Amino acid sequence: MQKDNLIKDKTFNFALMTIELYKICRLQNEYVLSKQVLRSGTSIGANVQEALAGFTDKDFLYKMSIASKEARETQYWIELLHESSLVNFDVIQYRNEIDSIVKILTSIVKTLQDKQRLK
C-alpha cells in the first residue's frame, strides 16, 4: 500500500479540476486558451509522478522543477482566461489551488537545491 503524498494528490486533483475547466471553456466556445490550460494543468501532476519514479536526486529535482514551471504557466493561463472575460468560471477555486501547488513545489525545489549545494 502506497503512503499518501500531498503534492501527488494535490496535482492529480488539480488535473481533474483542469479538465472540468476545459469542459466549461468548450461549452462557452473558447477553444484556444482552454487547450493551453488543459495541457499545462495536467502536466504538473505528470511531472510529479515522473519525479517520484526518479532514480537519482538530480532526476527528482529536474522533474520537480519542470512541474513547478508548468504550475506557474497554469497560473498565467487561468489569470488570462479570467481577466479576458472569455469564459465565465469560478476563478477563486482554481487560483487558490494552483497558488498552493506553486508554493509547495517551490519549497520542494528550493530545499533540494540547498541540499545539493551542501554536498
58-91 pLDDT, tens digit each: 999 999 999 999 999 999 999 999 999 999 999 9
- 99 vs 2 pLDDT, higher one: 99
Can you tell me the mean pLDDT for 37-65?
95
pLDDT band, very low/low/confident/very high, at 117 (cuts 50, 70, 90):
confident
CA distance 116 to 79: 34
Q: Is the Cα torsion angle 53, 116, 100, 88 positive or negative in sign?
A: negative
pLDDT band, very low/low/confident/very high, at 3 (cuts 50, 70, 90):
low
CA distance 113 to 109: 6
Q: Which pLDDT score is estimated for 10?
A: 98
List the chain domain ranges: 6-118
Residue 2 above 60 pLDDT?
no
- 27 vs 55 pLDDT, higher one: 27
Architecture of domain 6-118: Up-down Bundle (1.20)
